[in-house]
Structures are given as structure tokens and as C-alpha cells.
Amino acid sequence: MVRAIMPVVEEFESLSEKLARVTAECERLRAENERLRRALAGPELHPEENRQARIPAGDVAPSTVSAPARAELSVPEKIALFRSLFRGREDVYAIQWARPDGNVSYSPACLRDWKALRSVPEGERRKTDKATRQLLPITDEAIHAHLSGKCTVGVYPLLRDDTCWFLAVDFDRESWQLDAVSFLESCRERNVPAVLERSRSGNGAHVWVFFSTPIQASLARKLGAGLLTRTMERRHQLGLRSYDRLFPNQDTMPTGGFGNLIALPLQKVPRRAGNSVFVTNASNRFQISGAI
């Protein structure tokens, strides 16, 4: 029996050591993340409220408590700070487009060889498109278009070498508020700096954890899984019904693909409705970037 259990114990100890290393790294990044958030902090969503007001420290993770008034950043500074946080693959990004049924989808931004596409049967066009399209790298102009509401951009968080710059946890069902706040409490308990974004629809959330250097996606996902497990232990009577997925969604790059994309926050159109912004709790919100 002991021999049968030992491999499980050794694997658990190995994962615990890795989680401890990531936790230590996140603690080291706290000061850097706080500096970036202070620089990014812009006008509050509700200007009639006292701009100096602070949310009680017990409501959120320490690194997201206050949104002090700051001097207005220039547009290039805002874009640079935005890109320093929400970093995915640089050689490709996604653009949202409307389908005939009224729903939306995302496709890689690219230049298409329409002559080649028209020269093949309809059933072969998708394969021909992948072979002939020219993928476009993400640029400051693309980010500006996203933040100013001209388009909606998504990034592919899984890099070519199976690393990532951030971890995002998606909550999107009826209990998303309770579950997301509980997850933030688990992050705070483990000294993992994290911030909460209300989704574009307003009916869900993403919790973001940023890294100063790319780390293995498998390790980032294990960190997310460990925090989810801890959250379920703390809320075992309810579970996490709203949890949907982690980004990156894969440990390694899928053959012939880019991995799952995630839509970038702070796009102007949902932001006007108080969505796709970073929140402290259900009744108090602040933007980490002024409008462009």
C-alpha cells in the first residue's frame, strides 16, 4: 500500500514546490504590478462620487483596493502600459466579426489572397485560406482601434514556446460574483496579486494574474487549478458553478492552431455601459485606463 501511494505523494510534493515558487514570484511582482496600476489609474466610472474614496481593504485583494487620481497619460503611454500587461503572441491577433445570425466570432487578423480563394471549390477554401493568408502582427494602431471602439481585438495568450505572460480565469454563470470574489480571496490568501474584470456582457468576469516574464503555460494553469481548488475548499457548500475555463486554455500549442484567444478588456463600447472594466466589488468600479 505504501509503495502504491508514494508516487502520488511525490507528485503532490513536486506540484507543491512549483506552486510555492510561483507564489514567491508573484509576491516579488506585487510592487511592480502596484506601480503599473497606479500609473494606469484614470478617472473613476462614476465622476460624481468622491475620487479620493477607498474601498475597505477587506473587500478585495490589497493590490486593487484604491484608484487614486493621477495625471492624465498621453495616448502612446496608455497603449504602452496596456500592452505591457495584456501580452500574448505578437505575430498574430484576432478580430471580432458579426455572423449572419447576429452572433459574433473571432478570426486571425490577416490579408487574404482572394484570387486564390476564388480559384478553388467552396469546400477547399478554408484550407486554401490558411495556406495563403498573411497574418498581421499586433500593433499600437490595433490596440488604439480597440480602446477607441473601432473594433474588438483578442489576443492568443499561449506563446510559441508554450509560455504565457498572464493567467486569466473565466466566470460566466449566475453565481459569478460570489465565485469571482471568493477566488480573489484565495489569491490574496496565497499572496498572488490579481485583478477582476467585469465581462463585456456584464454577466461574468475574468480574474487576471500577470507575470513579469513568460512562464510555462502548464505551470500557470497549475497555479490557477490550485487556486480554484482552494476556493472550492473555502466554498465547498456551493462549489464553483460559474467557473468556465482558464486562459491559456492549453499547456502546449495545438498542431496547426494558436490555442484559445481571449478578448481584450476596456473596449470603448462595452466600457460606456460599465462593462469590460476592472472592478473592486459589485457597487464600486474603476478603470485602469482613461478613455482613448
Angle (CA) 218-220-226 rounded to 5° is 100
- DSSP, collapsed to helix, strand or coil, labels residue 244 as strand
Give me the architecture of the 7-88+158-292 domain, per CATH.
Alpha-Beta Complex (3.90)
pLDDT, mean of residues 187-202: 95
Across the chain, how many H-helices and E-strands are there?
A: 8, 12
Decide if pLDDT at 61 tops 50: no
CA–CA distance, 157 with 29 (Å, rounded to integer)? 19
Mark 91-126 as b/e (b = at least 16 C-beta within 10 Å).
ebbbbbeeeeeeeeebebbbeeeeeebeeeeeeeee
The single-letter code of the amino acid at 230 is: R
The per-residue pLDDT for 284 is 41
Which of 148, 126, 82, 109 shows the shortest CA–CA distance to 261?
Answer: 109
Task: State the pLDDT confidence band at 27, using cuts at 50, 70 and 90.
Answer: low
Give me the helices (H) in 190-258, please.
217-234
Domain spans of the chain, in order of start: 7-88+158-292
pLDDT tens across 230-269, in order?
999 887 655 788 999 999 999 999 998 999 999 999 999 9
Least confident of 13-22, 74-83, 154-163: 13-22
On the CB side of 143, CA atoms within 13 Å amount to: 22
Decide if pLDDT at 270 tops 50: yes
Residue 119 C-alpha cell reads as 480559384
Residue 210 C-alpha cell reads as 500577470
User: pTM higher than 0.85, yes or no?
Assistant: no
Decide if pLDDT at 2 tops 50: no
The per-residue pLDDT for 130 is 82
pLDDT tens across 99-151, in order?
888 899 999 999 988 888 788 888 888 888 888 889 999 999 999 999 999 99
- What are the beta bridge partners of residue 108? 94
- DSSP, collapsed to helix, strand or coil, labels residue 108 as strand
Q: Give the number of other CB atoms < 10 A from CB of residue 269.
A: 13
Contacts of 238 (CB under 8 A, 6+ apart): 175, 178
Q: Are 166 and 209 in contact (CB under 8 A)?
A: yes
Decide if pLDDT at 70 tops 80: no
Longest CA–CA separation in the chain, Å: 67
